[in-house]
Amino acid sequence: MKRRALLQAALASAALPARAQQDQSIAAAMNDLQVRVERDVPYGEDPRQRLDAYLPGTSGGPLLLFVHGGAWRGGDKRSVGVLPKVRYWTARGYVVVSANHRLLPQAHPLAQARDVARALALVQRRASGWGADAATLVLMGHSSGAHLVALLSAEPALAREQGANSWRGTVCLDNPAFDVPRLMAERHATLYDRAFGSNHAYWRTVSPLHMVARDARPMLAVCSRRSGAARAQAEAFAERAGRIGAKVQVQPVDKGHMDVDRQLGLPGPYSESVERWIASVL
């Protein structure tokens, strides 16, 4: 009977949509870790301007704000890459926040970056109520989300304009667009045309390499060794940032573009290396 019950549960789970399965997995993990979740906290009026906060049982810890990928036109704050990060960092006392933002075609990448900055400002304001230390916050993003957090980190004035204060550092997980003009000048996927259009002047305004300022936040640029273009973009950005005194560390990893996100938070050297970098800036 017990075996039959387990089989029926497994079949029921398999029949669920992927989103529902992910929500169930997150709920189970939160029960295991005694983590409280605040869902769909608004930071603006648009339905996409929402975030989820995962609050550990301990208080006084740092904050990790994560921004999903999705080619600037898709993705969600409950994507499959969120659960490993929630488990890993809440177990270490972090409040982990995962944020949505408006998407193409409603909002272009610069507007999306401003959404992330508004989410950051709200997280900083809410930190004490969540039992976290607003002064010890790290931004993290994957793919297009990595581009958005890289843009804010390269030019923190963009975040200040939306009411955000400074933060300790940023982890970019396989950002494909550190140098947008170079990306658009070379052979590229059509998704970048949808994101950045054909206005050369606009390309520079959303290019972290061209906007990097002296007060740029420290950054860890994780990039897949399997993508020479992404690694070249990260290294060029690090070189430009270093010339003005900004600190950027490039960390190539032997993982595919999606695994750079989905495997961060799983036990092992990869997660430990990112955690060491985060600890170094807190």
CA dist list (Å): 176 to 55, 187, 235:
31, 13, 12
Q: pLDDT value at position 13?
A: 39
Residue 238 gets the label, from left (phi > 0), alpha (psi -120 to 50) or beta, of alpha
Listed in sequence order, the residues at least 6 apart from 210 whose beta carbon sits closer than 8 Å to its beta carbon are: 179, 180, 181, 204
Exposure pattern of 35-54 as b/e (b: 16+ CB <10 Å)?
beeeeebebbeeebbbbbbb
pLDDT of residue 184 exceeding 80, the answer is yes
Quickly tell me which residue has 């399997």 as its tokens.
Answer: 226
Confidence at 8, pLDDT banded by 50, 70, 90 = very low
Q: What is the pTM of this model?
A: 0.90
Torsion angle defined by CA atoms of residues 260, 49, 196 and 247, in that order, rounded to the nearest 10 degrees: -50
Domain edges within the chain: 34-281
Give the relative orientation of helices 18-33 and 82-90 as an angle to the nearest 10 degrees: 10
> What is the mean predicted confidence (pLDDT) over 44-73?
97
Q: How far, in Å, CA of 61 to CA of 229, rounded?
A: 37
Pick the CATH number of 34-281 from 3.60.20.10, 1.10.357.10, 3.40.50.1820, 3.40.190.10: 3.40.50.1820
Handedness of CA 101, 182, 160, 140 (dihedral sign): positive
Mean of all residue pLDDT scores within the chain: 91
Q: What is the pLDDT of residues 110-132, one digit of tens each?
A: 999 999 999 999 999 999 999 99
The percent of residues above 70 in pLDDT, for the chain, comes to 88
